[in-house]
Structure 1
Amino acid sequence: MDSNILLNMLKGLFVGGSMLIPGVSGGSMAMILGIYDKLITSVSSFFKHKKQSIIVLGTFVLGAGIGILLFAKPLLYLTDTFTFPMMYLFMGAVVGSIPMIYKKADIKKISLSVILYTILGMAIIFMISFIPEELFSVNLDIGVTDILLLVIAGIVAAIALVLPGISVSYMLLVLGMYEETMKAIDQFYLPYLIPLGVGVLLGIILTTRILEKAMNTYTAPTYLIILGFVIASVIEVFPGIPSGINIIISIGTFLIGYFAIRKLSAFDN
């Protein structure tokens, strides 16, 4: 198997496994792992470069699907049981990705606009966190209205899926659909998952096309706003200051996350 294909699958595996943890963003994980730009380009230019896009997206989605099925529950268990070490691991990974994202912005020197664009990205994430939870009410007893709501919810969830720093699981909590979606995944309940998936697909196509155009036309501002998203996501998952032995363990997991991502970034380059 080609090493790039295997690497895409492994990155998808990690993104899929981690994206259902409340507070952890799938987009941030894709950005951290250095596959974000490739995914955006593959979706937005799918019909121009079908073969390459199918390979990139197919291997990533396969890995993500396996990650969701195999690792979502164990990671949720580990996060619930060992909250501080696990959250510090994610924080270390996010902090380790910041130099890579800043480099993509191609900034020559720090200016007021650089700071303002980054703050804007952070502010957007903080504002989203104030949205009241349970805006929708959809259960597994699906009717016609529920199908429409699921498609709309899928589009909203796709925006969270694509944009770094916005947790899909948190967005599902806001929509009041987190528990039902987890049940539907666990039971593989297609009447619920299909309309939700259609909405996600539509949302991904729309969001990625807008985002790729912004990345190509307004490179520095777009990446600086994304940098703000990612920095804010560190604050969002911050569980507080650990105590006792957790202090040492959490510092250790933070460093593991940080250096693992720095090493991976160097390997990709």
Structure 2
Amino acid sequence: MGAADVVPGVSGGTIAFITGIYERLLNAIGAFPGALTGELLRGRVGAFWARMDGTFLALLFGGILVSIVTLSGAIRFALSHYPVLLWSFFFGLILASAWHVGREIGRWGIGQFLLLAIGAVAAWLVTQMSPGEAPVTYWTLFGSGALAICAMILPGISGSFILLMIGMYGPILTAVNEWQLDRLGLFVTGCIIGLLSIAQLLSWAFRRYRDGMLALLTGFMLGALSKVWPWKEAVSWRINSHGERVPLEEINLLPGTYANVTGESSALMMAIGLAILGAIVVLGLEWFGRMRQSRATV
């Protein structure tokens, strides 16, 4: 999840779904308010930790942090020097993930197909948004934190991409680099409240409307494929926190057109190979999950 969150356009929620921990993550986060008031404030620390699945959350977020610290440099290097190959891997991974999630739907009907279409269109529209510029105020800092974290936990939608679209990516990076604690405090508060709220809502929706939610999330992933299409042409640029010139707006191209426009190789065969590798990773994780479940039931 940490490695995915480093790449704008790839959601850590997608990785959580692939690995089969998505619903457990939602339930653990959603249990926090009740565990806080019902257990911790009464001095029952052990019961609080157990009720919110504390060991699971600690290991998960520890892994995310370690991954961001150790892999972010390598992923940024690959994104800068081998973008077609990196995006190809993620394209195959997300496409196979959508297929995997769709298979989990128990019953297909008009409602499920409609929700799938709504999710696909919504995610596609988000990826086509032109970057805006929101004023940096207390409310926009708080709201951008809540919005970004909600997007981050939804498969197919990247929180960093949402920040980029609303013009808050730069101000947040500046706040981190310059240790602007007042701004960071508002942003993190928004993240916490947004995460607790969306987790409660999604947990309730999965309990009541599991097939509909799976169809909606499948649509999110299919619609987000536009963002991870490997062959792109940059039409505008921005300067990132390291002073590097990186693409801001891009348009998708066919492999042959990409080679003609950019003068670079489309690396078509390697791209296809890495897309297949991404799909194999998903299928391997799915197989591993089934084996673990079968052993647990024996």
Provide TM-score, normalisation by structure 1.
0.83
Q: Deviations over 1:70-111 (max 9, x none)?
A: 32233122112111110010011112223331233222xx44
Distance 1:67 1:166 in 2: 19
Secondary structure of 1:19's aligned partner: helix
* Structure 2 counterpart of 1:120, from 118, 121, 142: 118
Q: Verify: 1:256 aligned to 2:256, yes or no.
A: no
Secondary structure of 1:164's aligned partner: coil
Question: Relative to total residues, which structure has the larger helix share, 1 or 2?
Answer: 1
1:226 positional shift: 0.6
Distance 1:73 1:194, change over 3 A: farther
Identity %, equivalent residues? 23
- In the TM superposition, 1:226-241 aligns within 5 A as 226-240=217-231, 241=254
Distance 2:128 2:268 in 1: 30
Give the counterpart letter for 1:180 in structure 2. Answer: P
1:225 positional shift: 0.5
Distance 1:183 1:265, change over 3 A: farther
Q: Deviations over 1:102-123 (max 9, x none)?
A: 233222xx44333222111111
Distance 1:121 1:41 in 2: 22
- Decide which moves more: 59-68 or 211-220: 59-68
Distance 1:153 1:181, change over 3 A: same
Distance 1:206 1:135 in 2: 26
Give the counterpart letter for 1:266 in structure 2. Answer: W
Matched length: 246
Aligned to 1:142: none
Q: Deviations over 1:167-196 (max 9, x none)?
A: 111111122121333344456654433321
Aligned to 1:41: 27
Q: Verify: 1:246 aligned to 2:267, yes or no.
A: yes
1:61 positional shift: 1.1
Give the counterpart letter for 1:133 in structure 2. Answer: P
Aligned to 2:140: 149
Distance 1:95 1:222, change over 3 A: same
Secondary structure of 1:99's aligned partner: helix
Contact 1:18 1:75 in 2 (8 A): no
1:38 positional shift: 1.4
Contact 1:160 1:168 in 2 (8 A): yes
Q: Verify: 1:31 aligned to 2:49, yes or no.
A: no
Secondary structure of 1:92's aligned partner: helix
Contact 2:146 2:191 in 1 (8 A): yes
Secondary structure of 1:169's aligned partner: helix
Secondary structure of 1:260's aligned partner: helix
Work out which of the two has the higher radius of gyration on C-alpha atoms and give 1 or 2.
2
Aligned to 1:4: none
Q: Verify: 1:86 aligned to 2:77, yes or no.
A: no
Give the counterpart letter for 1:203 in structure 2. Answer: G
- Decide which moves more: 251-260 or 110-119: 110-119
Can you give the 5+ residue segments of structure 1 that lack an aligned partner in the other structure?
Answer: 1-14, 139-145
How big is the alpha-carbon RMSD for the aligned residues of Structure 1 and Structure 2? Answer: 2.2
1:130 positional shift: 4.5
Distance 2:166 2:98 in 1: 30
Aligned to 1:103: 103
1:28 positional shift: 1.7
Per chain length, whose mean CA-contact separation is higher, i.e. which structure has more relative contact order (CA < 8 Å, sep 6+)? Answer: 1
Secondary structure of 1:105's aligned partner: coil
Question: Relative to total residues, which structure has the larger strand share, 1 or 2?
Answer: 2
Distance 1:189 1:73, change over 3 A: farther
Can you give the 5+ residue segments of structure 2 that lack an aligned partner in the other structure?
Answer: 36-46, 232-253, 260-264, 291-298
Distance 2:186 2:282 in 1: 35
* Structure 2 counterpart of 1:159, from 150, 154, 157: 150
Secondary structure of 1:236's aligned partner: coil
Aligned to 1:56: 56
Distance 2:207 2:20 in 1: 17
Distance 1:248 1:132, change over 3 A: closer
- Decide which moves more: 96-105 or 84-93: 96-105
Distance 1:51 1:200 in 2: 21
Provide TM-score, normalisation by structure 2.
0.75
